[in-house]
Structure 1
Amino acid sequence: MSIQQIAVAYTAVATAENGRDGRVATDDGKLDVVVNPPKEMGGSGAGTNPEQLFAAGYSACFQGALGVVARAAKADIKGSTVTAQVGIGKTEAGGFGLEVELITSIPNVDRATAEELVAKAHEVCPYSNATRGNIKVTLTVA
């Protein structure tokens, strides 16, 4: 698989201090959050965590991609939602890995159309393109 080449239109910059048990902030100050491991992983759970931030970014990005393909198909996606569930756990090799389930609800179209839109969104979404072939991503139409 070759590395995807892009013409960069925007670069987000965030800096972490103290890793998973510290703080993350963007250079423009629009995001500044305390991060802590979840209780399930032995942390305090007091702040957000990288998996929640990844879930937020992926769900928002996928919703945007859904809008792009829906406009092209002239499909009504008003009231639609995308929920990203990001799991983290140990890999067989001893490190850690992620898996994602994207749960999409599109109330104004039939199931077959919803499934087609979700599949097409998965082809154009930058997060989907970044994760494809690297982690398990499950697409679910609610």
Structure 2
Amino acid sequence: MAETPIFPAIGAPAPDFDMPASKGRQVSLAAMRGKPFILYFYPKASTPGCTTEACDFQEALGALGSTGLPVIGVSRDSMKAIDTFATRQNLDFPLASDATGAVTEAYGVWVEKTLYGRKYMGIERATFLIDADGRVAQVWRNVKVPGHVAEVMRAASAL
């Protein structure tokens, strides 16, 4: 049985990251310093739930932009899979590839899952609202996609 991961607590510094992202971009915690942002983790590009979640964030970009909140999506997919997904869904925000798994582990979202009685390791759908000082302001774990982006936007507007 996998050990329960240690999650970054609300108020704690966000774990560092530096990853390649869609459209030839690079995303890092250092580059985001001074502005709040949304970092969300999704299991696999181009799957139904992940597509719905990404499209919901894309639709919310206008409102999120008015609050100054960039969005970064993260999975362990290859850059090829991520670029294909971002292009097919017309996603403007960066989707990052955590190919090494270091970031998903640092954020405690690499967890043991069960599907049809089979246990395996995978990404838990989770979202982190990071404040301008690089601290975790809010955490959503075991995210259910319907209504999630609206909930994140409400919390973000309070920052």
With the shorter chain as reference, the TM-score category is under 0.3
Using structure 2 for the length normalisation, give the TM-score. 0.23
Larger Rg: 1
TM-score by length of 1: 0.25
Q: Choose between structure 1 and 2 for higher RCO, CA contacts under 8 A separated by at least 6 residues.
A: 2
